[in-house]
Structure 1
Amino acid sequence: MKTFRYLLLMVPLMLAAFSSAGHAQQQLSLAQISQYFNSFSTAQGEFTQINADGTISTGTMFMKRPGRVRFEYNPPERSMVLATGGSVAIFDPQSSQNPERYPLSETPLNIILERNVDFSRANMVTNHTYDGQATTVTAQDPAHPEYGNIQLKFTSDPVELRQWIITDDTGTPTTVVLGDLAKQVQISDSNFNMQSAIRDFGN
């Protein structure tokens, strides 16, 4: 019941996000979406994560392309996800192994963390639709579709990323709803230091 109440609270927030770009909406081309990512190297903003089991988490995202992103979850959670140095580390206080690591190249998140994001690559985009309010693009690694996919939702005028759904190699979806992103902001490299993160998480 608690999760259901949270979901009800999320509905107006998501609708506000998708309508905030105004009435002059239009379908975005793959070139426009690629250019959106390539127009900035750093971004920071709040996020709400909806997990496959219906639980909801909130936190702050710090992105520094290429190849780095940090998700800090708000209390009472002490979880963190850190992508750096070609790997993704998941810090979970309930796990006996911290962090659990996976190659970044084997996750759909890698698609938007590349130095040069290019959605025009053959067989990368599997779906490209427009519902009158938002443009949705589903992308995968063309060489390894078995790694899963990322579904990105954008509003236009101005172009803004509002949500993504990552479906991993097991078919499990995770939805992230983004607040307004502050782009080209100063983000210290210390946020992506793996050894420092491991040390701090153990304290």
Structure 2
Amino acid sequence: MTHAIPIRPPRHASVLGLVLLLAALALVGAPARAADGAARLDGYLDGLTTLQADFHQVTFNSDRTQMLESDGRLYLERPGRFRWEYRTPFAQVIIADGKRVYVHDLELEQVYHRSQQAALRGTPALLLTQDEPIEDLFVVTPMEEGGERDWVALRPRDPDTEIERIEIGFDGEQLDTLLMFDRFGQVTHLRFADIRRNQPLEDDLFRFDHSTGGDFLEFD
């Protein structure tokens, strides 16, 4: 079983949850109708270079009791770099620089890090870091309409991932809602705002400052 970088609970969900969201955001604007969903998603990703957005995240446990609610901002640059900033309820920064993933808990003064290849294995973040067609990595299927939204489901083909599936809801051509289901019964609900596609981003966003004080823990 592949495991995410450990993040001291109950502050935030696993890094796998993070990268799932990043990958799903990369699909913003992709039409969700029709059976050729995989081809449409591939076409959209072909033109994606950078993305930034505010996020609101709510995580529920297996009995659907709310565990955590958080807000922040994300930045990504293809291929393979992203920055995830939790602002509330705890300050935390997660950076992927193309080789390693760093999780910096500012309040606990701790940094966890792991190779990016190991941290992202089996997750939809592979959409951002590999050139394989989406259908080689995931089973992509349209779902029945729910309310005013169209839905697409992605299931990882890798049997050793902690992720069971994600469901992406579109209002027209705009991504509106994302649900992530893991093998422990947890569900993460995500909404997005102030989405900016293909705008220049500073390199410093994706560089971890190794002079940061506190505990520095490696998990390879």
TM range (shorter): 0.5 to 0.7
- What count of residue pairs does the alignment treat as equivalent? 173
Query: Please, which moves more after superposition, 184-193 or 88-97?
Result: 88-97
| 1:40-73 C-alpha deviation (Å, 9 max, x unpaired) | 1101111011123432111111011111111112
Q: Give the aligned partner of residue 118 of structure 1.
A: 133
What are the residue-to-residue correspondences of 1:51-200 with 2, within 5 Å?
51-52=59-60, 53-75=66-88, 77-93=90-106, 95=108, 97-101=110-114, 103-106=118-121, 108-116=123-131, 118-121=133-136, 124-125=138-139, 127-131=141-145, 133-140=149-156, 142-155=157-170, 157=172, 159-168=173-182, 170=184, 172-194=186-208, 196=209, 198-199=210-211
Percentage of identical aligned residues: 18
Q: Specify the code of the residue in structure 2 equivalent to 1:45.
A: A
Distance 1:139 1:156 in 2: 21
- Alpha-carbon spacing, 1:26–1:68, altered in 2? closer, same or farther (3 Å): closer
Unpaired runs of 5+ in structure 2? 1-30, 61-65, 215-220
Contact 2:49/2:78 (CA < 8 Å) preserved in 1? yes
- Alpha-carbon spacing, 1:75–1:175, altered in 2? closer, same or farther (3 Å): closer
Contact 1:45/1:62 (CA < 8 Å) preserved in 2? yes
Q: Specify the code of the residue in structure 2 equivalent to 1:40.
A: L
Q: Give the aligned partner of residue 45 of structure 2.
A: 37
Contact 1:107/1:168 (CA < 8 Å) preserved in 2? no
- Alpha-carbon spacing, 1:26–1:147, altered in 2? closer, same or farther (3 Å): closer
Query: Please, which moves more after superposition, 29-38 or 91-100?
Result: 91-100
Output the TM-score relative to the length of structure 1: 0.68
- Alpha-carbon spacing, 1:113–1:153, altered in 2? closer, same or farther (3 Å): same
Contact 1:50/1:56 (CA < 8 Å) preserved in 2? yes
SS in 2 for 1:69: strand
Residue 192 (structure 1) shift: 0.9
Q: Pick one of 27, 31, 38 that aligns with 2:33.
A: 27
Contact 2:122/2:160 (CA < 8 Å) preserved in 1? no
| 1:127-184 C-alpha deviation (Å, 9 max, x unpaired) | 43141522222231x2444342451414264x33334344456554433322242111
SS in 2 for 1:120: helix
Contact 1:42/1:187 (CA < 8 Å) preserved in 2? yes
Distance 1:116 1:156 in 2: 28
Distance 2:67 2:129 in 1: 30
